[in-house]
Amino acid sequence: YAGGSEAYKTTNGGLSWETISLGNENYYTADIQFINSNTGFIASFVGASAGIVLKTTDGGLNWGATTLGNYYLSDIYFIDERIGFAMNNYALFKTTDGGSSWFELRTCTNNAMMVAYFNDTLTGWIVGSNGTIIKIWKKK
């Protein structure tokens, strides 16, 4: 999968690509993550005014949309089928139910959050503007 002003899928190692329908031609695809062959998530937005999380459970044939915040989403990262994070320049969101519901997390910065990475369900990092690095952890 690849994104941008449209979303694309390849089934032959990138030799050819097909455009996939996201259900709205105005969605811009910022980041794509599949956690298995059927379930995938896209951090998307419409203009600069609505962050959208798209979810598929059928390998990208159909997508459902959830609006998060008033600004575009820059990254999405799922640790497993339940726990995931989405972020934009002003907020960090988390889901613990596979994207059915999201809640905003408080952070220690006003800097933009851009990219997430997690080792496991207990430890991860968010990297942002001006050298911001936020460690997220959960005690065992």
What pLDDT shows up at residue 113? 79
- Reply yes or no on whether the pLDDT at 140 is more than 60: no
pLDDT at 60: 87
CA 127 to chain centre: 14
Contact 88, 71 (CB under 8 A): yes
Task: Please check the confidence at residue 139 and state whether its pLDDT lies above 70.
Answer: no
Digit-coded pLDDT (tens) for 82-111: 999 888 877 888 899 999 999 988 777 788
Which residue bears the tokens 């811009």?
28
Q: How high is the pLDDT of residue 36?
A: 92
Average pLDDT of span 4-33: 86
User: Which residues touch 43 (CB under 8 Å, ≥6 apart)?
Assistant: 29, 30, 31, 32, 51, 52, 53, 73, 74, 75, 76, 86, 87
Confidence (pTM): 0.83
User: Is residue 79 over pLDDT 70?
Assistant: yes
The H-or-E segment that residue 79 falls in is none
The pLDDT assigned to 21 comes to: 83
Cβ within 8 Å of residue 59, ≥6 positions away: 37, 38, 40
